[in-house]
């Protein structure tokens, strides 16, 4: 797996989810989810507007937790996209 740095964290790769006949590639990014001032962010599926969809995982979490987060977030993404596209 190729890992590349972005402004927010490390791009771990992409998850492909299929809704109907279309396939969507969602970036998976590992970030530090607790800021320096102690504010925690959520991990999982994030929809910023209708076009920006991504999955965010905690860069400090064990691999098993990261995999579980990606699985849960993928299912959330399918439900979100299906409501937008199929309704």
DSSP letters along 52-69, please?
EEEEEEETTS-HHHHHHH
Q: What pTM was computed for the model? A: 0.81
- How many domains does the chain fold into? 1
Chain centroid to CA 17: how far? 12
The tens digit of pLDDT for each residue in 34-78 reads 877 888 888 999 998 767 899 999 999 999 999 999 999 999 999
Domain that holds residue 15: 4-86
Chain centroid to CA 60: how far? 15
Distance CA 12, CA 84 (A): 26
């Amino acid at each position: 797996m190729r890992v590349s740095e972005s402004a927010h964290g490390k791009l771990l790769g992409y998850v492909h989810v299929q809704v109907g006949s279309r396939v969507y590639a969602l970036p998976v990014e590992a970030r530090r989810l607790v800021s320096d001032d102690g504010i925690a962010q959520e991990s999982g599926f994030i929809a910023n507007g209708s076009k920006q969809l991504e999955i965010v995982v905690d860069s400090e979490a064990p691999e098993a937790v990261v995999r579980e987060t990606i699985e849960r977030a993928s299912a959330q993404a399918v439900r979100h996209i299906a409501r937008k596209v199929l309704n």
